[in-house]
């Protein structure tokens, strides 16, 4: 090796990597010939200083560079921590929603497999119905959307049968549906009955409709037992659309809707969850795990009240939980709440001023219909004459009804109430004291307002 080559090698060995562009430059260079920056200093970092020696690349050009890395890392950790806390809070509030989503996806997987089975047997109509049900339960299911498109293409390519062929095929499908119905295979019967209606809508239409409504109802009961309530509600709606009135289907739909309502409030609004499961427990105590749900909701709400030092309310809700299921820990919590509950003596009530209308519950009548729940009343002046054209308000919790108007006999009415709770009745156009009136199913509550002397 000659002298010039030796010097070149020596210079190459004493080179460094430019911090900014990565090019190799001499270690004593003050300016990079490629990017024009100081090769050994990160000028954008506040910690950079001309007194800090430039880093020397010793192994690979992909080695990490120094600078503001620690500050960036600390910021990323802090941000990740805040996100984690927020995520945990959201999960705690929406536990009920997550549970419903999980159940829906499990049911969607079941329908998807049924669709594949029907597709393999070339039952394209039935396969399409299954894949459509999947998308109702899980709209983001791409596999089912792709399969449905495939089935629809196959259906479009299928030759159209003659009227005689369709009527004959409808008869075959109807006989198969009867057989499946007798075997209590409700899903199978539904598939065949829908096939009958698709092939020949006028084929024994009354009998097919009756059988179809009953099959939807019985299939819905099976879905309820599997805790697949959203599917069950759809089936009950189909049954009600085919046959109305249908008291059994309407009652089952109401029970399922109450359960889903309570589940939707779970972890987010304990009072609303309690109300839904309390009504459900009154209607049908053995409906799924209603008793356990109601107990747990009372307990969770009592714990929340205790954490806010609302000891008297906490004690009452612990009592409600203990009435459903007793255990030593709940008893201990109840006793602590009772010890801390100190209620000052209530001052004697101040009588309302003269002329103020005060209401009373006159009587409660049984109307003989389970789904009926009503509050009606009458407004009379000091001489016992009816007060006409007065607006009357009705409210409960955060709900308010449209005002009713007293007629020529001073009578007003609120019919078709939806929840058996205590409502507040108030005269909106006259000075009055709000009257609490407890409504219940199959009951008509009569109230009366008169002015104080």
Residues forming CATH 2.60.40.10 domain(s) in the chain: 357-451
Place of tokens 């659309």: 241
Q: Which helix (H) or strand (E) holds 120?
A: helix 95-120
Angle at CA of residue 134, ends 128 and 140, nearest 5°: 120
- Give CA–CA dist 168/238, Å, rounded: 26
What is the pLDDT, as a whole number, of residue 409? 95
What is the pLDDT, as a whole number, of residue 7? 42
- Give CA–CA dist 95/262, Å, rounded: 12
Place of tokens 């209590």: 184
Q: How far is CA 430 from the centre of its chain?
A: 41
What is the pLDDT, as a whole number, of residue 58? 41
- Give CA–CA dist 182/63, Å, rounded: 75
- Reading the block at residue 298, the tokens are 């009372």
Peptide bond into 210 cis (omega under 30): no
Fold of 266-340: 1.25.40
- Give CA–CA dist 127/112, Å, rounded: 9
Question: Is the pTM value of this prediction over 0.85?
Answer: no
DSSP 191-232: HHHHHHHHH-TTTTHHHHHHHHHHHHHHHHHHHHHTT-HHHH
Q: Give the closest residue to 213 by CA, choosing from 238, 192, 232.
A: 238
What is the pLDDT, as a whole number, of residue 358? 96
Q: What is the pLDDT of residues 420-439, one digit of tens each?
A: 889 999 999 999 999 999 99
Residue stretches of the chain with pLDDT short of 70: 1-15, 19-23, 25, 33-36, 39-100, 102-103, 158-162
Terminal CA-to-CA distance of the chain, rounded, Å? 126
How many DSSP H helices and E strands does the chain contain?
A: 14, 12
Q: Rounded to whole angstroms, what are the CA distances from 348 to 162, 341, 345, 359?
A: 86, 21, 9, 19
- Reading the block at residue 25, the tokens are 């430059």
Q: What's the CATH number for 357-451? A: 2.60.40.10
Q: What is the pLDDT of residues 88-132, one digit of tens each?
A: 445 544 565 666 676 677 777 878 888 898 788 777 777 777 788
What is the pLDDT, as a whole number, of residue 99? 61
Residues forming CATH 1.25.40 domain(s) in the chain: 266-340
- Give CA–CA dist 132/246, Å, rounded: 26
């Amino acid at each position: 090796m000659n002298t010039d080559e030796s010097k070149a090698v020596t210079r190459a060995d004493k080179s460094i990597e430019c911090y900014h562009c990565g090019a190799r430059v001499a270690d004593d260079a003050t300016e990079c010939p490629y990017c024009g920056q100081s090769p050994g200093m990160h000028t954008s970092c506040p910690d950079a200083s001309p007194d800090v020696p430039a880093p020397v690349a010793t192994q690979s050009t992909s080695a990490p560079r120094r600078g503001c890395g620690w500050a960036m890392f600390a910021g990323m950790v802090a941000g990740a921590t805040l996100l984690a806390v927020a995520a945990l809070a959201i999960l705690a509030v929406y536990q009920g929603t997550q549970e419903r989503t999980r159940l829906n996806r499990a049911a969607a997987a079941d329908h998807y497999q049924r669709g594949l089975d029907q597709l393999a047997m070339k039952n394209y109509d039935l396969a399409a119905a299954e894949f459509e049900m999947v998308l109702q339960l899980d709209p983001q299911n791409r596999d089912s959307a792709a399969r449905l498109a495939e089935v629809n293409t196959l259906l479009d390519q299928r030759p159209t049968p003659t009227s005689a062929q369709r009527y004959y095929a409808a008869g075959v499908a109807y006989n198969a549906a009867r057989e499946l119905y007798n075997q209590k295979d409700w899903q199978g019967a539904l598939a065949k009955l829908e096939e009958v209606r698709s092939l020949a809508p006028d084929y024994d239409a009354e009998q097919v409709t009756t059988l179809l409504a009953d099959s939807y109802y019985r299939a819905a009961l099976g879905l309820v037992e599997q805790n697949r309530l959203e599917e069950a509600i759809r089936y009950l709606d189909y049954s009600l659309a085919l046959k109305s009135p249908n008291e059994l289907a309407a009652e089952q739909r109401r029970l399922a809707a109450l359960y889903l309502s309570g589940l939707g409030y779970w972890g987010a609004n304990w009072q609303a969850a309690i109300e839904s499961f309390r009504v459900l427990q009154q209607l049908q105590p053995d409906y799924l795990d209603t008793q356990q749900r109601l107990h747990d909701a009372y307990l969770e709400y009592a714990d929340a009240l205790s954490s806010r030092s609302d000891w008297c309310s906490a004690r009452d809700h612990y009592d409600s939980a203990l009435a459903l299921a007793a255990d030593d820990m709940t008893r201990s919590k109840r006793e602590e709440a009772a010890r801390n509950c100190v209620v000052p003596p209530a001052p004697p009530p101040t009588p309302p001023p003269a002329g103020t209308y005060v209401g009373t519950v006159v009587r409660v009548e049984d109307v003989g219909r389970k789904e009926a729940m009503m509050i009606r009343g009458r407004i009379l002046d000091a001489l016992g004459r009816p007060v006409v054209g007065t607006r009357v308000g009705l409210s409960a919790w955060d709900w308010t009804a449209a005002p009713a108007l007293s007629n020529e006999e001073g009578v007003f009415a609120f019919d078709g109430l939806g929840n058996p709770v205590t409502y507040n009745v108030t005269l909106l156009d006259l000075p009055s004291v709000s009257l609490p009136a407890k409504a219940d199913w199959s009951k008509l509550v009569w109230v009366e307002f008169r002015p104080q002397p």
